[in-house]
A and B are shown apart, each in its own frame.
Chain A
């Protein structure tokens, strides 16, 4: 009885202690997240009448209508960003998976390569990266390294059109490769988690490396793939070099159309939120759960 009582008391105490730990986050949540979020919703539905005291009056959906109907920049820019993201994300995921599978093999200089592939993350996406891209560093890098795998003559042989397509693709890939450092490391960590006995069993049944990749590696790594897709999406959507983000800031802060900036921000956020929600629903069907084993 005494023990039970103690246990009962204990869980209550535990609960209180749990709140102690989460308390700072709740304060931060209210101060740095919920309050500004509500303010920004309010702002997006209103019109600032006097900028000095932030006096505003209700304006309905005026700002949202403005974004879709009046503003000639917003919708095309938005679609452009969405299109780019949908092209880039699969490329990043596929390439980082290929690289990490190669690195996961028992090769020499493994630690060296792992450290190396993370290096461009240090460059960030800000001014430094813009600087380098401005000097055409991405193209030079690809041109030089392509020479080793695909000699110029072989490309010429395929004809100018194919040559151009390949070259454009490779140029695109360079920037994406530089952005995939975190994803490679996450995939590597996931690959380390797959137990070797699965591969051994498959080998005993004379499975080839190719089948093993598709039947063991891909399903086992699917939770990490989801994590990586979400990371990549968020990373590219919140990237400050993203044109729509720059546009929102320009309009909102530099032109002092705060309410319109907030409305655009909300349209943008709702889209990201719905996309990720959709992704979670799709993932529920396809993701392999360890508990289902």
Chain B
């Protein structure tokens, strides 16, 4: 009895092994060819995605001689850091950098505080007209800002907000601003996915609804906050449409507006220093300037990249 069972067991094991080997061998080849194809395609596409940055960095480090020399494509003969000095001078980088950081940070803070607050109301409370209001949140996203920019312009000039950062910052504190509705949507989706038990426990312990939001909900929604901040940062930092309209005095400008002006500044500098420095204005300097504008964004993104990508998967954005 014992023996026969053992024998059948062995038979069975061997059969499975044989089967596995058969399937494995057949699967191995198709799979490895498929995998190779996927890797080649991914690296190829990855290169396309990385290319603008590589081009920017390499070109910005080329000396005027390297720029003309067609044999120099990827590796400059020497690293020409002077491009960056020229570009930073022409951009007046540090002044405008401060302006840009100020506006972007305030807008992010506004978006996070307001949108999470509003979204919590939409996600957890049942009141009359809630679904209708939420539909309007989505509709605000559909309206291109260009449609209402002219009345807003008139309105802000009545408020005496012209030439200040208020038209850019204030709407974010009310859940508007650049794609405010989207952030309300993100936070709502995230809150809907949270278990209700936590809040109920807080309620039983006598925690008020404001405190529940501030002390319990906000601290556990780090991933949603991170995703929203990164997106808000990218859009506000790069936005030049609204600032151009609302900020007329050059002192208040932000980096994305200054960049196109850099050409003009550089040309005037070139004429002024014609005798001393013959070649000032070239592709290298332009790319250096562009890279300087992008640089803060790039640094923050590279630091937060991993959490950001994981966060999008975790916020339940797509359920």
Contact = CB atoms under 8 A, between A and B. Distances in A.
B18 interface: no
A103 B45 CA distance: 12
Contacts of A16: 127
Interface string B32-63: 00010011111111111111110110000000
Contact of A115 (B56, B146, B305, B318): B305
A141 B294 contact: no
Interface in A4-58: 11, 14-22, 24-29, 31-33, 35-37, 39-40, 43, 54
Nearest to A233: B142
Contact of A29 (B53, B140, B308): B140
A137 B144 contact: no
B150 A177 contact: no
A114 B171 CA distance: 32
A248 B118 CA distance: 32
B126 A11 contact: yes
A102 B42 CA distance: 8
B44 A145 contact: yes
Contacts of B117: 21, 24
A39 B154 contact: yes
Contacts of B309: 111, 114-115, 118, 185
Interface string A236-277: 011010000100110011000010011001101100110010
A28 B176 contact: yes
B174 A36 contact: no
A24 B155 contact: no
B293 interface: yes
Contact of A124 (B152, B238, B305): B238
Interface residues of A, number: 91
Contacts of B238: 122-126, 128
Contacts of B241: 126, 240, 249
Nearest to B177: A32
Interface string B123-167: 011111010010011011111111111111111000000000000
Nearest to A11: B126
Interface string A110-144: 01011111111111111110011001010011101
Contacts of A111: 306, 309
B298 interface: yes
Given A25-B118, A40-B150, A269-B147, A189 B297 contact: no
Nearest to A37: B148
Contacts of A234: 141-142
A107 B35 contact: yes
A178 interface: yes
Given A36-B152, A54-B154, A132-B52, A238 B144 contact: yes
A37 B143 contact: yes
Nearest to B262: A127
Given A15-B128, A99-B45, A149-B40, A24 B259 contact: no
Interface in A167-223: 174, 177-178, 185-186, 188-190, 192-193, 223
A261 B150 contact: yes
B51 A137 contact: yes
A224 interface: yes
Given A131-B290, A140-B51, A240 B45 contact: no
Nearest to A147: B44
Given A137-B52, A141-B47, A149-B40, A122 B318 contact: no
A99 B245 CA distance: 38
A185 B310 CA distance: 10
B209 interface: yes
A36 B51 contact: no
B133 A245 contact: no
B147 A28 contact: no
Contacts of B317: 186, 189
Contacts of B125: 14-15, 17-18, 21
A166 interface: no
A148 interface: yes
B146 A122 contact: no
Interface of B: 35, 38-53, 55-56, 114, 117-118, 120-122, 124-128, 130, 133, 136-137, 139-155, 171, 173-176, 180, 184, 209-210, 213, 234-235, 238-241, 245, 256, 259-260, 283, 286, 290, 293-294, 297-298, 301-302, 305-306, 308-309, 312-313, 317-319
Interface of A: 11, 14-22, 24-29, 31-33, 35-37, 39-40, 43, 54, 99, 102-103, 105, 107, 111, 113-128, 131-132, 135, 137, 140-142, 144-145, 148-149, 174, 177-178, 185-186, 188-190, 192-193, 223-224, 227, 234, 237-238, 240, 245, 248-249, 252-253, 258, 261-262, 265-266, 268-269, 272-273, 276
6 contacts: A14-B126, A25-B114, A35-B155, A40-B151, A224-B318, A272-B144
